[in-house]
Amino acid sequence: MVSAPVQVAPPVEAPARARRLPRWVAPVAGVVAVVVLYVAFRGKAVLPHDDDATLFHWLNDARDWVDANRNSSPIFLYVVNYIRLGAAGVYEAIQAGLVALGWPGLLGLAAGLGWLAGGWRIALVSFAGFAGVGVLGFWEASVETLALTLSSVVLSLLFGIPLGIWAGRSPRVRRIVTPVLDVMQIMPTFSYLSPMVLLFLIGPASATIATMIYAMPPAIRITAMAIQRVSGVAVEASESLGATGWQTLGKVRLPLALNTIMLGVNQTIAAALSMVPLTALIAAPGLGEDLLRALARVNVGAALVPGVAIVLIAIVLDRMTRAAAQRREGGTRARAVRWGGFAVLTAAGLALLPVLAQDFPEQWEVQIVRPINDVVDWIEAHWYTFTGFLNDVVAYGLLNPLQDVLTNAPWWLVTAAVLVFAWRVSGAAAGLVATACLLCVAGLQLWEHAMETLTMVLVASVITIAAGLALGVAAARSRWFAAGLRPLLDAAQTMPSFSYLLPAVALFGNGRFTAITASFIYAVPVVARLVEDGLRAVPGTVMEAARSAGSTDRQLLWKVQLPMARGSLLLAANQGIVMTLAMVVIGALVGAGALGYDVVAGFAQQEDYGKGLAAGVALVLLGVMLDRITQGANGRRSPHKKRNA
Amino acid sequence: MGTAAIEVRGLWKIFGPKADRIIGSPDADLEPAQLRAKTGCTAAVRDVSFEVRPGEVFVVMGLSGSGKSTLVRCLTRLIEPTAGELRIDGQDVRAMSAKQLRELRRHRVSMVFQHFGLLPHRKVVDNVGYGLEIQGVGKAERHEKARRILSLVGLGGHEDSYPEQLSGGMQQRVGLARALAVDPEVLLFDEPFSALDPLIRRDMQAEVIRLHREVGKTMVFITHDLSEALKLGERIAIMRAGAIVQVGTPEELVGAPADEYVADFVRDVPRAQVLSLRWICRAPEPGEPLDGPELPADTVIHDAVPAAMASDRPIRVVAGGELVGVVSRVDLLGAVRPEPQPVAAAASAGATGEEA
Amino acid sequence: MKKLRLIAGVLALGLAVAACGGAKVEDDSAAAPSASAAGSAPASAGGTVKMAINGWVGYEASAAVVSYLLEHELGYKVEKVTLAEEPSWQGMESGDVDVIIENWRHPDLKKKYIEEKQVAVEAGSTGNKGVIGWYVPEWMVQKYPDITDYKNLNKYADLFKTSESDGKGQMLDGDPSFVTNDEALVKNLKLDYKVVYAGSEAALIKAAKQATDQKKPLLMYFYEPQWLFNQVKLVKVNLPAYTEGCDSDPKKVACDYPPYDLDKIVSKKFADTGGKAFELVKAFQWTNDDQNAVADDITNNGMTPEDAAKKWVEANPTKWQAWMPK
């Protein structure tokens, strides 16, 4: 047999392609245009900061009105003050309950609930976690934090779950609720505080409400999702038997959605725990107060320990709710064992109450503040040249030039650049929203400070995303590395955001670079995890096919994994930026200035209140803008989503 | 014929914006694909009419997307029909208030679903008792009833299992028991067995036949499986693109398909198993001997073969003691030959297709 | 139908609310059990005193000693609420704060909360004399003798440049919540400086120590009483002299800070019902040296505020016994 000669077609150049401009021309032309315009108009049409802006005075007047009419205006008499009373009531009831349990009772109850949720393992985790909090010497403060967390979670669920059910059932409600939730989740935690103080004064009630608002979105979102995902067949079967809407809801939808809703509870708790420490700024009791005091004394050890206590509480609540979410209905016997164990453990704890001291025994407490501080002191003393050098490199090399450009460029140039960039990356709608946000920031008369904040966010995000990408890729390629990294990332994610400020302060002193370092520590875990998950999600068959074609590992990464994980990478970038913004703002507590400082000053100094409030709004706008620009990935969700990934 | 158990007249279901404006307009006559392109609406059920007699097993058969599942849901307004008349036991279903409709679903019509629709968090006994529970029946009574029904469908002893612990076939028995537990007049089956393995499917079909014999409910049975339709259906409606192409007994469909579509469908059906002597018999020709073996008119060809082999005389076909006609060996062979008589001839021979 | 029920529910709720006649903030008895329970209670079972803790260690020293005496001598429970200065005043209104143990003037807040809202009252001087000003390390004065006059500051602005000061000299401030006119001063005295906030007292102290040890130039906001002056030599820069009323408009200030006579503020409710606790707070008075001793122990000798207070109380019985209610 003679094989037919293989026909070799001459390589054909696609004619349409030859005539079109190369792809890089448009972006480069855009950049060139921006540079030219910048050089030509530098220093013109800038919006310098003015502490005396009329808007700020107007907001101050509004504050004064509220202050004067708190006890006479019907809005306050019949609505706002009742909300405050209600929140205070919930907090006090829960707090009193937890205190009344005493430490043995609470340990017993925790173990019992753990047992109920997931057997002896979770019981042990709960017991050990709460006992650990006591051993660290923060029992009382932890109980306060727990009370604050639980009361805001209870309220979040009280409103969030019905709202979620409604949103799950009605597409119209869903359409209204979704963008609101989006904004709520982008909002930097800081900007919640001033309006809360205005309406509800300071104190635990106000803190509970602020935390509730912050923690509600996941409850609403996940409940809505759970309700939507309930098997249509089961619902139809119920309806076909003549069930009323309420019967179907109570007997079919809710039971079937319950496990998923428990995940929502889990996320709500996580969100609440990340907010609660920050409410110490408005006089909420608990571990946040210890953190704040440690911050004022620049005492790293004293800040780290309450941070660890919060991590322990978070772990216990997380494992408990997660186990409850995975629980399956057992037989009658299994149920008897579960409830029996719960009763025994709780009763045992309560029975010990009269026997043991009311306060957690001091002799069991372990002092670790001092050794930590010794290490920090040593680092401070010996690495000073290095840390100072690093600080100066970033400040002079990146921050100052970029800030110079952003604050000296005409406002219309910055706006136009944002419009074009967002349009190209995420489409017309995103571009318009981003531009509108930026214009509103200008309208709030906080342009210059917003540009300074933006500078920090940009630099911090670039560093964070680069590092997160590297870590994520490494973790996706080596199981060993991933196994080592995971617990670190887990802990880093649960630490209250502002306990990161201190190590950064200790290393780099006060200033913008410290805020950047803190936001780096805060956001890198999420970025790394999203990258890793994205890379791991590339189907095995595709990898196999690429490998069988003879790809090297590097080719596999660049030509298969990274392109296929594009969605996750964009999501990681988006999350990284949003989280960085939240943290950079908190960096104002350690001298990072800009909008964050305006917010802090707003609730510390009377005459700055208006500016602070406006700055809070500006932060939200900046957040929405950054989010929209990086929204190229469609599946953007809460920063806590990755936990159950 | 007395009052029909179910009576459907000119029923329409169109999904999409402003669906009600399409009915009566020229657009209503468009093919579904054209309609969708033009208006964005999907016509799932198009001008469907039929009647189901009390105690009858009525099968609606069609390929996926033919609108049959939508049709069966329209019967109890699980899906709200867009237009048309709908009566169950003489009562206008479309005029019912929400409360009346609930009463209808609770007591008179219940449904078995393709994917069972069982509640995974409830034990079998509580799944079966669900219909009674939402009626407000007490726990003891509904458990008692559920147990009885479970043993009727052959699941005695599985009361305290959870659905996921049962096989697919057993789960569908639970679904069946749930529908039976409320003691309805009408049972609707939406492709109940298509998710099951073939062997189990056969068992379940036998189960339905047995139950029909024992409890004698009116049944509307949706399927895409022709052999299932032929096995269960006293009458069968063939649906295509939302409309009914033909309604008739299995014999009528096989023996006299209304159009190419139906003919195509029934081409591979073993005719000897379906066609009865009544269908193929003819008047005796002059001089033909009338002393051959005598068989009832509803004997299918397959069962007549032994008699035909035993005698070379034409078989005498009788019904109610009267002679209906005769069938010779040649007639038998002609009836089972692969390419039957041309469609046109068959159509004129008395198809009852209700083409829209 | 459903809508009707909803409306009925809302109406019912509205009526219930209206029947209560609305909630005023002071009604908030739950949030402010405060000292009212104490009243004339016996020493063993006192009430709770809510003491604001402001963000500098001198304050904490005073608070620690008063708390120690309240708890161990009078049997009260003291809840410490970490707060900035202005929110502490607000806490008097919301019921979260009973006592501010060291107040730095704040005429505006006094007007608002004492005169207008009448939720707070003055409780006398702490005996401490406060000074706020701009300071440079002593070595700079030796090297640049004329630096202590504000008029010469622009000449030296380059020395104080840092990465955070935007090309100008850096004027390092503390916590944004502290009493400060510095931004207005820089502007109104036409100084080529930028105010940078370190964020806390501790950060200021750290900067001062580094500036002395490493001979780094530093111009910073600082204040007395302050234990640091025992360790590090700082020299005050002379701003235009203070005259009565020169600081009345915070935006137009161009003069030095006034001398401060630090005093105590308590909530009206505490003054009325605080019983012995209130009497003790009112009588509390000590010297800058006393405060510095306790603050020094807290900051530099690794003591908790409680331990430092205990040490001082044990060493100075005659002083505190004079404060005790008869």
CB A186 within 8 A of CB A624: yes
State pTM to two decimals: 0.80
Confidence of residue A564 (pLDDT cuts 50, 70, 90): confident
Kindly compute the dihedral angle of the four CA atoms of residues B75, B77, B79, B81, in this order, to the nearest 10 degrees.
80
Could you tell me which of A50, A130, A90 has the C-alpha nearest to residue A444?
A50
* Under 8 Å between Cβ of A301 and A372: yes
Cβ pair A290, A138 in contact under 8 A: yes
Helices (H), chain C: 2-19, 57-72, 85-94, 107-109, 138-143, 182-188, 201-213, 268-273, 275-283, 288-300, 305-315, 317-321
pLDDT of residue A19: 59
Looking at residue C20, what is its pLDDT?
52
Give the range among A246-260, A569-583, A593-607, B70-84 with minimum mean pLDDT: A593-607
B195 and B327 together in one domain: no
Q: For the ranges A167-176, A187-196, A233-242, A612-621, which has the lowest average pLDDT?
A: A187-196
Min mean pLDDT across A259-273, A428-442, A532-546 is at A532-546
B175 contacts in chain A (CB < 8 Å):
237
Residues A312-323 have pLDDT tens digits of 898 899 888 888
Contact C144, C168 (CB under 8 A): no
Q: CA-CA distance, A268 to A261, in Å (whole number)? A: 10
Residues B221, B305 within the same domain = no
CA–CA separation, A416 vs A428, rounded Å?
13
The pLDDT tens digits of the residues spanning B85-128 come to 999 988 999 999 989 999 999 999 999 988 888 888 888 999 99
Contact call for residues B247 and B235 (beta carbons, < 8 A): yes
Helix C288-300 × helix C305-315 angle, to 10°: 140
Please give the backbone phi and psi of residue B284, each rounded to the nearest 5 degrees, phi first: -65, 140
- Claim to verify: residue B278 and residue B236 sit in the same structural domain: no
Per-range mean pLDDT, top range of A200-209, A506-515, C141-150: C141-150
Structural domains of chain C, ranges and CATH numbers in brackets: 30-128+261-321 (3.40.190.10), 130-260 (3.40.190.100)
pLDDT of residue A1: 43
Cis status, amide bond into C225, omega within 30 of 0? yes
Across chain B, mean pLDDT equals: 84
Same domain for B118 and B156? yes
Q: Would residue A48 be called left, alpha or beta, if left means φ above 0 and alpha means ψ between -120 and 50 degrees?
A: beta
Same domain for B243 and B340:
no
Instruction: Please indicate, yes or no, if residue B4 is contained in any of the structural domains.
Output: no
Give Cα separations from C252 to B291, C173, C249 (angstroms): 131, 19, 5
Q: Are residues B142 and B261 in the same domain?
A: yes
What pLDDT digit, counting tens, does each position of B301-330 carry?
A: 888 888 888 888 888 888 888 888 888 888
Best-predicted range by mean pLDDT (A557-571, B245-259, C145-159): C145-159
- Residue where a domain terminates, one of B266, B300, B330: B266
State how far the Cα of C92 lies from the Cα of C265, in Å rounded to an integer: 9
A343/C190: higher pLDDT: C190
CATH number at residue B285: 3.10.580.10
- pLDDT level of residue A172 (50, 70, 90 thresholds): very high
Predicted confidence at residue C10, as pLDDT, reads: 55
Residue B251 lies in a domain: yes
Question: Which of B266, B292, B315 represents a domain boundary (last residue)?
Answer: B266
Half-sphere exposure of A577 toward its Cβ, with a 13 Å CA cutoff?
22
Answer yes or no: is B28 within a domain: no
pLDDT digits (tens, 9 = 90+) for A351-398: 777 777 666 776 666 777 777 778 877 777 777 778 888 888 888 888
pLDDT of B350 reads: 41
Q: How confident is the model at residue B348 (pLDDT cuts 50, 70, 90)?
A: very low
- Chain A residue whose CA is closest to C27: A85
Distance CA(A525)–CA(A532), nearest Å, equals 10
Query: What integer pLDDT is reported at residue A330 of this predicted model?
Result: 62
Closest CA–CA distance from residue A590 to any residue of chain C (Å): 5
pLDDT of residue A642: 37
Rg of chain B on CA atoms, in Å: 23
DSSP secondary structure of A131-145: HHHHHTT-HHHHHHH
Domain of B289, in residue numbers:
271-346
Task: Work out the pLDDT band at A636, boundaries 50, 70, 90.
Answer: very low
Does position A346 have pLDDT exceeding 70, yes or no? yes
Residues of A in contact with C84 (CB under 8 A): 603-604
Ordered by where they begin, the domains of chain A are 58-326+356-382 (1.10.3720.10)
Rounded to whole angstroms, what are the CA distances from A414 to A46, A92, A461, B125?
A: 10, 49, 19, 68
pLDDT at A562: 84
Average pLDDT over residues B226-245: 89
Is pLDDT larger for residue A225 or for residue A332?
A225
More confident residue, A503 or A233: A233
Dump pLDDT digits (tens) for B43-69.
Answer: 889 889 999 999 899 999 988 888 899
Contact A37, A411 (CB under 8 A): no
Q: Is the dihedral of CA B89, B94, B97, B102 positive or negative?
A: positive
Please answer yes or no on whether C175 and A513 come within 8 Å at the CB atom.
Answer: no
How confident is the model over A617-640, as a mean pLDDT? 71
pLDDT higher than threshold 90 for residue A155: yes
Domain-embedded: residue B27: no
Q: What percentage of chain C's residues is helix, strand, coil (to nearest 5)?
A: 45, 20, 35
User: What's the pLDDT score for residue B9?
Assistant: 92
Last residue of a domain, one of B213, B241, B266: B266
Cα angle A64, A69, A75 (rounded to 5 degrees) comes to 120
CA distance A638 to chain B (A): 30
pLDDT along chain C (326 residues), means of 10: 52 51 56 37 61 89 92 90 86 88 89 89 90 93 92 91 86 85 90 88 86 90 88 90 85 88 92 88 91 89 88 92 87
User: pLDDT category, A3, cuts 50, 70, 90?
Assistant: very low
Question: What pLDDT band is residue B1 in, cutting at 50, 70 and 90?
Answer: very low
| Domain shared by B101 and B231, yes or no | yes
Task: Give chain A's contact residues with B (Cβ, < 8 Å).
Answer: 231, 233-244, 247, 251-252, 255-256, 258, 329, 331
Average pLDDT (A608-629) is: 87
Distances (CA, A) of C138 to B106, C75, C204, C216, C300: 93, 46, 16, 11, 22
Q: Looking at residue B197, which CATH number applies to its domain?
A: 3.40.50.300
Measured CA distances, A79 to A63, A206, C22, C25, C75 (Å): 17, 14, 8, 12, 39
CB atoms near residue B200 (< 10 Å): 16
How far does A269 lie from chain C, in Å, by closest CA? 24
**pLDDT in the model for residue A14:** 47
Structure confidence at residue A559 as a pLDDT band (50, 70, 90): confident
Q: Is residue B132's pLDDT more than 50?
A: yes
Residues B303 and B244 in one domain: no
> B108 with B244, same domain?
yes
| Whether pLDDT at A406 is above 70 | yes
Residue B352 lies in a domain: no
Chain A partners of C90 at a C-beta cutoff of 8 Å?
Answer: 197, 201-202
> Are B328 and B184 within one domain?
no
Q: How much of chain A exceeds pLDDT 70, in percent?
A: 92
Domain co-membership, B112 together with B237: yes
Least confident window among B130-144, B220-234, C40-54:
C40-54
Domain total in chain B: 2
- Chain C environment of A84 (Cβ under 8 Å): 23, 25, 28
What local confidence, expressed as pLDDT, does residue C36 receive?
Answer: 37
Long-range contacts, B166-170 (Cβ 8 Å, 24+): B166/B124, B167/B200, B168/B195, B168/B196, B168/B197, B168/B200, B169/B196, B169/B197, B169/B200, B169/B203, B169/B204
To the nearest whole angstrom, how far is the Cα of B253 from the nearest Cα of chain A?
Answer: 31
Q: What is the pLDDT of residue C219?
A: 94
How many residues belong to chain A? Answer: 645
Residue B314 lies in a domain: yes
Please indicate whether, in this complex, the C-beta atoms of A81 and C53 are within 8 angstroms of each other. no
- Kindly tell me if the per-residue pLDDT of A156 is higher than 90: yes
Whether the pLDDT of residue B341 is over 60: the answer is no
Residue A246 predicted with pLDDT over 80 = yes
Instruction: Indicate whether B261 and B329 sit together in one domain.
Output: no
Determine the pLDDT at residue A350: 78
Cα–Cα dist A168/A228, whole Å: 5
How many CB pairs lie under 8 A apart between chains A and C?
A: 163
The pLDDT, as a whole number, for residue A160 is 93
In a domain, residue B294? The reply is yes
